């Protein structure tokens, strides 16, 4: 069964031969591992443009509140579904991506939101 990487490749119209690397079940650890790996790939492959996609789906583990498992409420209160992308490359591609990519931010709750694109 094709994974999310293959489906994303098709959705973005990329060639099926594009190199893909999936890292499952990394949690917060991926926040340091994936950018380091992407940097290494971009630096050591001439002309490489590394598109990093990170997503976390907590909803699949959701269960209703229980008097016997109050600890599960803490995790459900702290974490939620989310996604982020970043492009890492040695190429000067900034102008192209400013014209073709947009920033979309969605959230639930009454929290202040500040975003800056550098």
- Going along the chain from its start, the domains and CATH numbers come out as 4-100 (3.40.47.10)
Q: Decide if 54 is catalytic.
A: no
Each residue's pLDDT tens digit, 53-73: 887 777 667 777 777 877 777
Name the active-site residue from 28, 49, 54, 115.
Answer: 28
Contact 88, 50 (CB under 8 A): yes
Percentage of the chain surpassing pLDDT 90?
Answer: 1
pTM of the predicted structure, to 2 decimals: 0.62
Q: How far apart, in Å, are the Cα atoms of 5 and each of 19, 78, 105?
A: 10, 27, 22
Which pLDDT band, with edges at 50, 70 and 90, does 114 fall under?
Answer: very low
pLDDT tens track for 2-32 = 788 888 888 888 888 888 888 887 877 788 8
């Amino acid at each position: 069964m094709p994974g999310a990487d293959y489906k994303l490749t098709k959705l973005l119209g990329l060639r099926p031969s594009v190199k893909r690397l999936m890292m499952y079940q990394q949690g917060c650890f991926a926040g340091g591992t994936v950018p380091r790996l992407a940097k290494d790939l971009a630096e050591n492959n001439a002309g490489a443009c590394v598109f990093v996609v990170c997503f976390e789906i907590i909803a699949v583990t959701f269960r209703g509140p229980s008097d016997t498992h109050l600890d599960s409420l803490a995790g459900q209160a702290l974490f939620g579904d989310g996604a982020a992308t970043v492009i890492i490359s040695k190429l000067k591609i900034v102008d192209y991506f400013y014209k073709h990519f947009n920033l979309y931010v969605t959230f639930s709750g009454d929290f202040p939101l500040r975003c800056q694109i550098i």
